[in-house]
Amino acid sequence: MYEPESRIWRTEESEIPRTLRALVDFRVVQPAPLILALLRARRDNTVSLSEIVKTLQTIERFHFQFTAITQQSSSGGISEMYAKCGREISTESDRSQRHQRLRTFRQGLASRIPNADVFDKAFVDRLILTDERSREKALVHYVLREFLKSESPKY
């Protein structure tokens, strides 16, 4: 999970290590219980790849906005959401129920995304890369990669 390059991923799984790398760059650990459950579900083929990718992308987008840019901290509710959903998809025996739990989780996480005004102001203030502010290098590279990807889908 913290070293996505340490595994050989199939072509159709290429989005998984990309998302995991982004979360490492954001320095977030809260999603660990759910991510580990998703990786286990992928290994055991108990959750579809598309549900796993959608969930990981939602987690990535959320932490980009909530943690990396606006630097908000949760009151513990978000960590609890991750742990609860990870347990549920690990113990649920029905595949369609696992998918429903992931959809519900994604909706809950999306409802906690910072509003656009807060994000826009923080984005402008936060993404400055200088010799004195080199800590932001991974975040700036992430944003530039995402801009490039949106402009050139082949990237």
pLDDT in tens, 6-48: 889 999 999 999 999 999 988 899 999 999 999 999 999 999 9
User: What domain count does the chain have?
Assistant: 1
Specify if 127 maps to a domain: no
**CB contact at 8 A, 26 and 68:** yes
Evaluate whether 81 touches 132 at the Cβ level (below 8 Å): no
- What tokens does 50 get? 């598309």
Three-class DSSP labels, 67-91:
HHHCCCCCCCHHHHHHHHHHHHHHH
Give CA–CA dist 113/66, Å, rounded.
6
pLDDT at residue 125, as a whole number: 83
- The parent domain of residue 70 ranges over 4-115
Rounded to whole angstroms, the Cα distance separating 30 from 80 reads: 9
Is residue 135 a part of any domain in this protein? Answer: no
Is 45 inside any structural domain?
Answer: yes
For residue 76, tell me if it sits in a domain: yes
Task: Give domain status of residue 152, yes or no.
Answer: no
Residue stretches of the chain with pLDDT short of 70: 133-135, 153-155
Identity at 70, one-letter amino acid code: T
